[in-house]
Structure 1
């Protein structure tokens, strides 16, 4: 029997609690999400491929977790993937999948150390929302992109209900600092009746 962590994820209240939760979850994460029909990674990866169909373009898989998002990016056509995650247990599981060029950790309480302009595409798949990354993550990732670079990220129903998350994106769009290339709604984790919106945003 696998250890279950999914339903308690959305009540985590601090960065350190979040890191400890995901570290304990790493061993059963893939199985629990797969049995709940985790659909957002493939949806987002395919949407990004439609807009940037370049298999040799390096993509930063931010919050890569155990690598389920990276597998989806590979299936879509992206072959050069770097992963970044704050949780050692998750990174170990991602390493075992053998799909990343590089993997790196970071301090969950600080801004992620992404070299500015190093990636023309960054993804945050199932990463931004309650129990994971805060709204300002959208700012950090868009700032790291060069002009014309794209960010692909998702917000589940719980995050969409909190206006702080979509508000961060709207600030960029309203200032003309970014433009929305794609947004669509669909299943996230059907097993717990949770949907998500995916966004592809280009930095102006």
Structure 2
């Protein structure tokens, strides 16, 4: 960590026990989020672009950044040739920053874990990073992400190691596959979410193709 203020902000986010607490934590952190996470070496918003580029052809249709935060991923995917990107986040304050960054065609305020405001099969791919972690979106969020992804499209996301089993993610992966909703394409090795600090914050990336 780079200081007590950084530790307090990150701890508030991880300690949130309800959606209301999480919304308040991100609202309080919004203005300092980019500077503070950059100092920690937070790499997930940029690393996710590699998996999107590997699996999703350019020009296939709209993509959704589910849990886009301040909109760090959008401009980098634009640089790789993806122009039709929408963003979703719980925090209106974070979305204001994403809007100013200019990497998204549309931004929507909504919570993962509940119904999402898109028709079935709207997106060619959905990606999400840093969202499936302690105190954040539940594994049940994947049901809606699959629903709004078109058949043949991809759901690409990271999961923190400490919630992979305890949060029911492994079980949800298997259930969706057993129901014929998706099939597994790739599972990354475990890697660090922060390149500079927080060496114990470890994640994996997962890619599934919707059936």
| TM-score over 0.5 (shorter chain) | yes
Counterpart in 1 of 2:68? 64
Alignment of 1:69-88 (within 5 A): 69-88=73-92
TM (norm. structure 1) is: 0.90
TM (norm. structure 2) is: 0.87
Q: Tell me the CA shift for residue 173 of structure 1.
A: 2.1
Counterpart in 1 of 2:148? 144
Is 1:159 paired with 2:182? no
* Contact 1:85–1:105, Cα closer than 8 Å, also in 2: yes
Unaligned runs of 5+ in 1: none
Q: Distance in 1 between matches of 2:125 and 2:84?
A: 11
Q: Distance in 2 between matches of 1:113 and 1:100?
A: 17
Q: Tell me the CA shift for residue 26 of structure 1.
A: 0.7
Is 1:198 paired with 2:205? yes
Unaligned runs of 5+ in 2: none
* Contact 1:129–1:135, Cα closer than 8 Å, also in 2: no
**Could you give the per-residue CA deviations for residues 81-126 of structure 1, whole angstroms, max 9, x where no partner exists?**
1111121100100011011111111256732222221111111111
Is 1:7 paired with 2:14? no
Note closer, same or farther for the CA distance 1:183–1:77 as it changes in structure 2 (3 Å cut): farther
Q: Distance in 2 between matches of 1:43 and 1:107?
A: 23
SS at match of 2:193: strand
Counterpart in 1 of 2:109? 105
Q: Tell me the CA shift for residue 25 of structure 1.
A: 1.0
Q: Distance in 2 between matches of 1:63 and 1:109?
A: 11
Q: Distance in 2 between matches of 1:153 and 1:109?
A: 15
Q: Distance in 2 between matches of 1:41 and 1:108?
A: 18
Counterpart in 2 of 1:189? 194
* Contact 1:184–1:197, Cα closer than 8 Å, also in 2: yes
Runs of 4+ in 1 over 6 A off after TM superposition: none
* Contact 1:2–1:28, Cα closer than 8 Å, also in 2: no
- Across the aligned residues of Structure 1 and Structure 2, the Cα RMSD in angstroms comes to 2.1
SS at match of 2:75: helix
Is 1:89 paired with 2:93? yes
Q: Tell me the CA shift for residue 187 of structure 1.
A: 2.0
Q: Please say which of residues 131-140 and 71-80 is displaced more in the overlay.
A: 71-80
Note closer, same or farther for the CA distance 1:156–1:109 as it changes in structure 2 (3 Å cut): closer
SS at match of 1:162: coil
